[in-house]
Amino acid sequence: MTNPIEDIEKSDVILVTGSNTTENHPVLSSYVKRAVALKGAKLIVVDPRKIPITRFATVWMRQNLGTDVIWINGMMHIIIKEKLYDEKYVKSRTIGLDALKKTVEKYTPEYVQEMTGILKEQLLEAARLYARAPAASILYAMGITQHITGTDNVKSLANLSMLCGNVGIRGGGVNPLRGQNNVQGACDMGGLPNVYTGYQQVGDLAARTRMQNAWGVARLPEAPGLTVTEMMQEAHQGRLKALYIIGENPMISDPNLNHARESLENLDFLVVQDIFMTETAEMADVVLPSASFAEKEGTFTNTERKVQRVRKAVPSPGQAKEDWDIICDLAGRMGYAMDYKDAQAIMGEIAQVTPSYCGINYDRLENDGIHWPCTGTDHPGTPCLHMDEFTCGLGVFHAIDYIPPAELPDDEYPLYLTTGRILFQYHTGTMTMKSQGLNELAPECFVEISAQDAEGYKIKEGDLLRIVSRRGEIEAKARISEMAVKGTIFLPFHYAKAAANKLTIAALDPVAKIPEYKVCAVRIEKG
The residue count of the chain comes to 527
CATH number of the domain at 415-526, please? 2.40.40.20
pLDDT one-digit tens code per residue, 87-99: 999 999 999 999 9
Tell me the C-alpha distance between 147 and 72, whole Å: 15
pLDDT for the residue numbered 392: 81
CB 292 within 8 A of CB 321: no
Phi, psi of 127 (to 5 degrees): -65, -45
> How do residues 191-245 score in pLDDT, each as one tens digit?
999 999 999 999 999 999 999 999 999 999 999 999 999 999 999 999 999 999 9
User: What's the gap between Cα 380 and its chain centre?
Assistant: 28
pLDDT at 180: 84
Cis peptide before 373 (omega within 30 of 0): yes
b/e 66-75 (16+ beta carbons within 10 angstroms → b): bbbbbbbbbb
pLDDT for residue 179:
82
Which residues of the chain form CATH 3.40.228.10?
5-177
Q: Whole-angstrom Cα distance, residue 17 to residue 165?
A: 19
Q: Which amino acid is located at 303 in the chain?
A: T
DSSP label at residue 366: S
175 near 28, Cβ under 8 Å?
no
Mean pLDDT per 10-residue interval, the chain, length 527 residues:
96 97 95 97 97 97 96 98 97 96 98 97 98 98 95 97 97 93 92 95 94 93 93 96 96 92 97 96 98 95 95 96 96 94 95 95 95 95 92 92 96 96 90 92 95 96 96 96 95 91 93 93 91
Cβ(467)–Cβ(489) under 8 Å? yes
- DSSP state, 258? H
What's the pLDDT score for residue 429?
87
**Intervals of CATH 2.40.40.20 along the chain:** 415-526
Q: What is the pLDDT of residue 391?
A: 80
Q: Compute the distance between CA of residue 429 and CA of residue 280 in angstroms, rounded to an integer.
A: 13
Cα separation, 497 vs 138, whole angstroms: 36
Identity (one letter) of the amino acid at 266?
N
What CATH number matches the domain at 183-371, 3.40.640.10, 3.40.50.740, 2.60.40.420, 1.10.3720.10?
A: 3.40.50.740
- Location of each CATH 3.40.50.740 domain in the chain: 183-371
What value does the CA radius of gyration of the chain take, rounded to a whole number of Å?
24
- The yes or no reply on domain 5-177 and CATH 3.40.228.10 is yes
Q: Please list the residues that pair with 415 across neighbouring strands.
A: 522
